[in-house]
Amino acid sequence: MKKIDVRIENIKSMQGTGLQMGCLLFVTVEEMRRGMFLKNESLMGKPEDVSSGMV
C-alpha cells in the first residue's frame, strides 16, 4: 500500500509542476502574441484579422 500512496503523491506533485509550467508557458505565449499583435496592428491597423488568424 505504501508504494501506491507514494506513486499517487508523485503524480500529484508532477501535475502541480505541470500546471505551473503550463501557466508559465501560456503567459509567455500570450506575451509573445501581444507583442506580435502590436507590431501587426501598427503595420496593418487591423488587429481583429491578426487575432483570428493566430487563434
Amino acid 50: pLDDT? 52
Amino acid 51: pLDDT? 53
What does pTM read for this prediction? 0.33
Task: Give the start-end residues of each E strand in 1-55.
Answer: none
Cell 505565449 locates to 29
Per-residue pLDDT tens over the stretch 31-45: 888 777 666 665 555
pLDDT above 70 for 17: yes
The whole-angstrom separation of Cα 43 and Cα 55 is 19
Distance (Å) of CA 7 to CA 3, 27, 33, 52: 6, 30, 38, 42
**Helix, strand, coil shares, percent, the chain, to 5:** 95, 0, 5
State the average pLDDT for the chain: 68
Among 3-7, 27-31, 46-50, which is the least confidently predicted range? Answer: 46-50
Kindly state the DSSP code that residue 55 receives in the 8-state scheme.
-
